[in-house]
């Protein structure tokens, strides 16, 4: 194969290197994602920037967020069910050192793609253009490349507000303990199940810091009926806003939430309906551009890594040449589109389960939850399906 990588262009979502902050996310990768990193030779670089020395088990404990905080489910992990948590800024730092500055160009925003005979022409906001044989669009949930694949001038309308908002915080465990929280949050992740809301906690930095994400859903809004301008997807929020949403929650939850200061509110969006194809001709979508999903299974980053692995395997295969690139991308689509969209749909289903309690007697709901949660989380326990 003739140096095909010099004739492929990757429009990427905006990359910003920064110090970790409470307003950025921590990426959690599961077994499949770790295998993908290993296959691409990225594991060592990632581990150098992660807080963990080695990947560890990430078996969730599910408890009620209502008064009493009753036990719902302890998910029993298999020995191979290991994961890795890494802050977004550290994740980016681990990749920057592996890039070739001779072929990478930053601060370029793709505005459209056209064709010049068999070549793809990428147009940028700064007025420049670039011709290439293949375009791999990893330009995020508000993808420009998606329009070229879907042939839909209104393709951005596929990105919809899920009616769910998230508030993020990184809390020092010592402060959490001093506040009187007795839930043991340092050893394993927790999902605190509530009424139209839930909380995810993950221990990071060897349990010294607790990553907290608070989700609240307004189910009085018809799905897909509210459009939020892109510049308002992340906005400042008042601490009281979070507490008001948890008036019916138990003491443990309220003690935890009282520690959150200067929160930001993230409006959760997804690609909906899912795309029928991630590929058109010599253009392919990758990651959130193809299958932006709810974060409720922690699988979004992992699915993007699986995309990258499949493309690396196909594009570096000895049989790949400029004459069969369209067929190669069709294979990528046949492998990735069904699986990624299935995970997208299961992520939305998981969010419904996590917020299915009601005020009053929840005995029957909790019994049903135990069965459904075991199936939803257990999906990732099969060797062919873990993400």
Tell me the angle at which helices 31-39 and 300-315 cross, rounded to the nearest 10 degrees.
30
Residues 6+ apart with CB under 8 A from 215: 164, 165, 166, 197, 198, 199, 200, 268, 296, 351, 354, 355
What is the DSSP code string of 175-223? HHHHTT--S--SSS-EEEE-BSEEEEEEEETTTTEEEEEEEEE-TTSPT
User: Kind of pairing, strands 209-217 and 234-236?
Assistant: unpaired
Is 146 one of the annotated active-site residues of the chain?
A: no
Judge contact between 81 and 381, C-beta under 8 A. yes
Q: Which of 61, 146, 158, 168 is catalytic?
A: 168
Strands (E), the chain: 8-9, 26-29, 56-57, 61-64, 71-74, 82-87, 110-116, 119-124, 129-132, 134-137, 159-172, 190-193, 197-204, 209-217, 234-236, 264-271, 279-280, 283-285
Residues 6+ apart with CB under 8 A from 306: 32, 33, 36, 336, 339, 340, 387
Which residues lie across from 56 on neighbouring strands?
83
> What is the token pair recorded at 250?
């138990």
* Cis amide prior to 362 (ω within 30 degrees): no
Judge contact between 116 and 70, C-beta under 8 A. no
Residues 6+ apart with CB under 8 A from 149: 137, 275, 277, 278, 279, 280, 283, 284, 285
Judge contact between 72 and 193, C-beta under 8 A. yes
Tell me the angle at which helices 325-354 and 300-315 cross, rounded to the nearest 10 degrees.
170
Residues marked active site are found at: 168
């Amino acid at each position: 194969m003739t140096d095909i990588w010099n004739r492929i262009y990757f429009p990427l979502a905006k990359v910003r290197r920064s110090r970790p902050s409470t307003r950025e996310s921590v990426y959690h990768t599961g077994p499949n994602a770790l295998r993908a990193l290993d296959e691409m030779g990225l594991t060592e670089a990632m581990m150098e920037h992660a807080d963990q020395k080695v990947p560890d088990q990430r078996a969730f404990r599910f408890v009620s967020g209502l008064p009493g905080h009753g036990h719902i489910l302890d998910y029993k992990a298999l020995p191979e069910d290991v994961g890795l948590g890494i802050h977004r800024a550290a994740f980016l730092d681990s990749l920057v050192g592996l890039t070739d500055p001779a072929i990478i160009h930053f601060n370029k925003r793709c505005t459209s793609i056209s064709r010049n005979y068999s070549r793809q022409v990428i147009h940028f906001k700064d007025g420049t253009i670039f011709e290439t044989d293949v375009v791999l669009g990893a330009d995020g949930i508000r993808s420009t490349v998606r329009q070229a694949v879907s042939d839909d001038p209104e393709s951005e309308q596929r990105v919809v507000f899920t009616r769910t908002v998230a508030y993020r915080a990184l809390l020092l465990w010592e402060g959490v303990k001093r506040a009187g929280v007795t839930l043991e949050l340092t050893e394993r992740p927790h999902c605190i199940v509530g009424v139209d809301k839930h909380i995810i906690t993950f221990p990071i930095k060897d349990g010294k810091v607790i990553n907290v994400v608070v989700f609240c859903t307004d189910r009085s809004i018809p799905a897909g009926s509210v459009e939020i301008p892109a510049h308002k997807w992340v906005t400042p929020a008042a601490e009281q806003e979070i507490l008001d949403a948890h008036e019916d929650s138990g003491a443990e939850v309220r003690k935890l939430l009282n520690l959150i200061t200067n929160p930001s509110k993230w409006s959760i969006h997804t690609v909906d309906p899912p795309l029928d194809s991630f590929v058109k001709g010599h253009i392919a979508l990758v990651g959130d551009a193809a299958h932006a999903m709810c974060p409720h299974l922690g699988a979004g980053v992992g699915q993007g890594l699986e995309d990258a692995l499949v493309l690396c395997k196909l594009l570096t295969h000895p049989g790949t040449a400029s004459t069969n690139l369209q067929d190669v991308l069709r294979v990528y689509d046949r492998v990735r589109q069904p699986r990624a969209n299935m995970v997208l749909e299961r992520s939305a289903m998981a969010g419904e389960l996590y917020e299915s309690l009601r005020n009053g007697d929840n005995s029957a709901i909790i019994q049903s939850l135990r069965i459904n949660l075991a199936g939803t989380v257990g999906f990732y326990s099969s060797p062919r399906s873990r993400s």
